[in-house]
Amino acid sequence: MNILVCIKQVPDAETVFGVSEDGTRVLIPGNAVYRLNRFDEYALEEALLLKDRAGARVHAVSIGSPRVESALRRAMEMGAHAAYRLDPGSGEEPQTIEKARLVAAWAAGREYDLILTGIMSEDSMSCMFAPALAEHLGVSSATAVMVLDVRQEEGMVVAEREIDSSRREVVTLALPAVLAVQSGINRPRYPSLSNVMRAKGQVIETASAARGTGHAAPISRFREVSARREGRILKGSPGEKAAALCDYFHEAGVL
């Protein structure tokens, strides 16, 4: 079985972002610290568990400048057999839908039985990549996967999806398939010393990702939200405070 894990490198959550004067771009400071998207770690771990159980081959892929190679090397340190960087060329970073098209164009014909992704990225949180990738590849997909059972001999995968906190849905998909796994499906491992040493000597292959036109969703404007916080102190007896609190909830439209 051949498994591809799509990963993304994201700025650390402590990064302070800005917005350009015309509101068309998010500005990331030059000293920002980047790391592997935590949601993708669950997808990678799930692939490695399949590798441990059934001897699957696990590859990792990411789109971006040479900077993303640190995230790809992290994937190899955790146990991925190989890693690939798709170079989108100069210009703005591709948007989610465009990234899905680029990965699909590269992955087509490589005979991956299963493609795993995290449910979303920590920066954009769009949750669109996996469904868009499946659409471009013409294969079935499922999101918010909490349990997966690959039955390669039968050519299918049984996925248990999280609908909400108390309900789940079980779907059966034909292979190949794209699955976006939910956080909590497993506990991502720490890289072993042997894998860290092995990854140091591995080469991350680079491929050109030809960018098309007309695939990006137009962005109207970004704006910074005020960090101002407001508070209200309720005074009087417990009954008066309760009545004032109810009045406030009505004003706020909560009740």
Which sequence spans correspond to the domains of the chain? 2-208
Cα distance between residue 249 and residue 243, in whole Å:
10
Q: How many CA atoms lie within 13 A of 170 on its CB side?
A: 3
Q: For residue range 64-80, list pLDDT tens digits in order.
A: 999 999 999 999 999 99
Q: Is 19 helix (H, G, I), strand (E, B) or coil?
A: strand
* Identity of the amino acid at 205: E
Q: For residue range 103-134, list pLDDT tens digits in order.
A: 999 999 899 999 999 999 998 899 999 999 99
Cα distance between residue 117 and residue 185, in whole Å:
12
- Architecture of the CATH domain 2-208: 3-Layer(aba) Sandwich (3.40)
Q: Is 226 helix (H, G, I), strand (E, B) or coil?
A: coil
